[in-house]
A and B are shown apart, each in its own frame.
Chain A
Amino acid sequence: MAAFADLNVPYLDDPRATEKLVSKAVKLGFETIAICKTYRFQNECGKETRKGKGKGKDRASLSPINWDVFPAIQAMKNKNPRLKFYSRITIPLDDQNQIHPVFTEVGNAFDIVAVQPTTEKLFQQACKSLDIDIISLDMTRRLPFYLKFPTVHAAIERGVHFEIMYSTALRSTSERTQLLSIALDLVVFTKGKNIIMSSGAENELDFRGPYDLVNLGLLFNFKEEQSKAAITKNCRAVLFHSEARRGAERSVISGKLLPQHANEETEAITMETCSEDEASKGDDHQKEATGDGDNGDDNYEPTKKKAKV
């Protein structure tokens, strides 16, 4: 399985505090970490405000994460090359009109895009058509709509994942009850597939170690394997899905010339397999380097966005 991942470490205003959270997660054994910004709408005035006065503030929450403000994270990365950091944005959706402008802005600025739909219609839209990676339901209070099998199934078909954010369960009894009931529902509707567990912890104490999470997953009615997959394999699938989403328009197959090998027959085969592999992994650098030449490449059809697990 892939490395343990926590795809929701909140981005706090103080970079130091964020670093503390990240280092706690690393200490517990997580190797893939996504730092999450939450998008806040200026809800009263909607579009106009964003274009006019409120623009500056809005931009701030939308600007991609600047990794230079986290020297400690860079240091950790140098020390342990297996650590991987990603940026993520969570967009709470309340209104149909908001969707389009936000998505054009967010575009490719973040590695992972998550939405938090609050109405049934938006939930349906998120499952069926929106170009996103994660659907994160608000598990602190009752869901304002019922989950429906076809809708959830559509999301699974597209490779979109659902998120269970466990840190809210540690705060109060009522939130814990809510989280349990919603998570149990979610596991029933998804049959335990395409779910990720993440912390969303704003406090160091809210983090839990990976093996504790596997046990916690059993409470949500996961099977043992699924429970572990929720923090390993499925997170890996989310990352591949996001790669596919961002890189799909302009990706090409690229191969590098491998050094000469004595065994000629096998070389041809490996050459083929490894170039395929690199392309499906969607190595960023290669794409950017060759991205300009997209007019000439007809071989690759980015129609299939579902990430292979």
Chain B
Amino acid sequence: MADGKAFSTPKRRLTIEKYSFQDEKERYRRHIEEHPFNHAVEIVIPDVLLGNVNECFQSPSPTQHHCCLIQLPVHAFTEVEFINTFIKNGQFIALSWETRIDSGNCAAILPTGVLILSLDKDTYEQLGLTGKPSAFQKKHRFIVEVNLAAPSFVPGKKLYERVRWCLKDKLELTFKFLMSWTNEAGNLSTGTIHSFFNSYNGQMVRNEVNTQRAPNYKKAPNISYDRSSLTEDKMGPENCDVCDCMSFLSGLAVLLAELIAPDSYVSTLACPEPSRDLKELITHRWTGMITSNSIISMIHSVRNLIKSNDVPWIALTVWGFTDCPVTWKQNEHGHFLSGENFYTFVIFPNDQYWLYTAMGSHDIGL
């Protein structure tokens, strides 16, 4: 503007960690498991032939997995039979679909068995369950948490009866739910849910996979675990810094689409220097609802791939749902201008990795 008004960029947070897979605490595992709702996973692999990659991701690929999309009233989750079959055994997750966290009601069930309802003021007042005000929209949104797996949550107890009465007789909240269930043996068997709820009209949704080889774009920045610097001052001329690498990975889709030439008017995004030429650059992306367990097994197969081939690095990015009421652990998530929450593992040959975690302004985070 003429008077030079400065607009601030949207607030967001990015944390970068450097760590090793060999650590006993297995921090990576916790990081993945604490983020239960994953919408997409993308793997970027330089310098490996497509055949090898496909072979590697045959078994852990979530392509064969389904999630279940059913329109359900929330009280269906409080049935004793349901709790005993699904919540108390294995890992059940459910997330309301096509709802907006900033302007409507949302619901989710965490693997720990906690039912989270993120309600706007009107619904909250009508429902009659106690909750706490949202951290981001203080008086206009309330979060109700009910632990379905608690031993005291059984018929006859006050809380159970109250929840049943509120959700069933008073205000029947109904959402479209995306659900998936991993049974105790660790196998995904979402089909069981589908048959359990066969009185409601549901459908199975298959996860999609999309593989891209970049025929013309074969450049990647030089990075190394130790020698890439975190700050602007470059340590060595032969390595990119960590933030540049992040921008490369997140802008990769644009670069691969080749709609826009690098350094054009529309986008100034280009491969950060110093870079090197590659034989091949493959991106592999799954979208749908992907469980934490399958992400962990993907991490393992990536580690195998990196050991068996001569690869400088492999990046694995996981995106969460933007309208999900929680992100990490049980921490509240909101949506102001964007609700993104994602993390990227950049994995190096000697079992070391970088972990980027990014979230928007309305996110309590880790």
Query: Contacts A1-B140, A263-B161, A263-B162: A258 and B125 contacting too (C-beta < 8 A)?
Result: no
B104 and A82: CB pair below 8 A?
Answer: yes
Give chain A residues whose Cβ lies under 8 Å from the Cβ of B100: 3, 29
A266 and B125 within 8 A (CB) = no
Closest-CB distance, B100 to chain A (whole angstroms): 8
Of A224, A232, A258, A274, which contacts B103 at CB under 8 A? A232
Known contacts A218-B7, A262-B161, A263-B161; A224/B336 CB under 8 A: yes
Q: Which of B98-132 contact A (CB under 8 A)?
A: 100, 102-104, 120, 122, 125-126, 128
Contact assessment for A270 and B104 in the assembled complex, using a CB-CB cutoff below 8 Å: no
List chain B residues, Cβ under 8 A from A219: 1
The answer to whether A274 touches B126, judged by C-beta atoms less than 8 angstroms apart, is: yes
Q: A214 contacts which of B104, B169, B337 (Cβ < 8 Å)?
A: B337
Residue of B nearest to A266 (CB): B162
Q: Smallest CB–CB gap between B267 and chain A, Å?
A: 19
Residue of B with least CB distance to A232: B103
Contacts of A281 in B (CB 8 A): 122
B164, chain A: closest CB distance, angstroms: 10
Q: How far is the CA of A194 from the CA of B1 in the complex (A)?
A: 25
| Contact in complex: A211, B169 (CB < 8 Å) | no
Would you call A53 an interface residue if the criterion is a C-beta within 8 Å of the partner chain's C-beta atoms?
Answer: no
Q: Are A261 and B161 in contact (CB under 8 A)?
A: yes
Q: A277 contacts B161, CB within 8 Å? A: no
| Contact across chains for B128 and A3 when beta carbons are under 8 A apart | no
CB pair A1–B141 under 8 Å, yes or no, is: yes
State the interface size on chain A (CB cutoff 8 A). Answer: 27
For the complex formed, measure the closest distance between the CB of A118 and the CB atoms of chain B, giving whole angstroms: 29
0 or 1 for each of A181-211: is its CB under 8 Å from B? (1 = yes): 0000000000000000000000000000001
Closest to A258 in B: B170
Closest to B337 in A: A211
- Complex CA–CA separation, A21 to B103 (angstroms): 22
Q: Is B158 an interface residue (CB 8 A)?
A: yes
B165 in the interface, Cβ–Cβ < 8 Å?
yes
Give bound CA distance, A261 to B158, whole Å.
10
Contacts of A232 in B (CB 8 A): 102-103
A111 within 8 Å of B (CB atoms): no
Instruction: Encode contact with B along A261-293: 1 for CB under 8 Å, 0 otherwise.
Output: 111001000100110010001000000000000
Shortest beta-carbon distance from B167 to chain A in Å: 13
| A143 contacts B by Cβ under 8 Å | no
What are the residues of chain A within 8 A of B161 when measuring CB–CB?
261-263
A259 in the interface (beta carbon within 8 A): yes
Contact partners of B125 in chain A: CB under 8 A: 273-274, 277
Interface residues in B1-16 by Cβ distance below 8 A to A read: 1, 7
Known: A2-B103, A263-B161. Contact between A274 and B7, CB under 8 A? no
Determine which of A31, A259, A274 lies in contact with B169 in the assembled complex, contact meaning CB atoms within 8 Å: A259
When distances are taken between beta carbons in the complex, the residues of chain A under 8 Å from B103 are 1-4, 31, 232
Q: How far is the CA of A31 from the CA of B98 in the complex (A)?
A: 13
* Distance between Cα atoms of A224 and B336 in the complex (Å): 9
A193–B158 CA distance with the chains assembled, in angstroms: 44
Is B59 located at the chain interface by the 8 A CB criterion? no
A233 on the interface (CB 8 Å rule)?
yes
In this assembly, does A228 line the interface, its C-beta being within 8 Å of a C-beta of chain B?
A: yes
Contact with A along B169-197 (1 / 0, CB 8 A): 11000000000000000000000000000
The answer, among B120, B165, B337, for a CB contact under 8 Å with A2, is B120
Interface of chain A residues 1 through 22 with chain B (CB within 8 A): 1-4
Q: Could you say which residues of chain B place their CB within 8 Å of the CB of A228?
A: 102, 336
| 17 intermolecular pairs with C-beta atoms under 8 Å apart | A1-B140, A29-B100, A31-B104, A215-B337, A219-B1, A232-B103, A258-B169, A261-B161, A262-B161, A263-B161, A263-B162, A273-B128, A274-B126, A274-B128, A274-B170, A277-B122, A281-B122
Given contact pairs A3-B103, A273-B128, enumerate 5 new A-B contacts (beta carbons under 8 Å). A4-B103, A31-B104, A214-B337, A261-B162, A273-B125
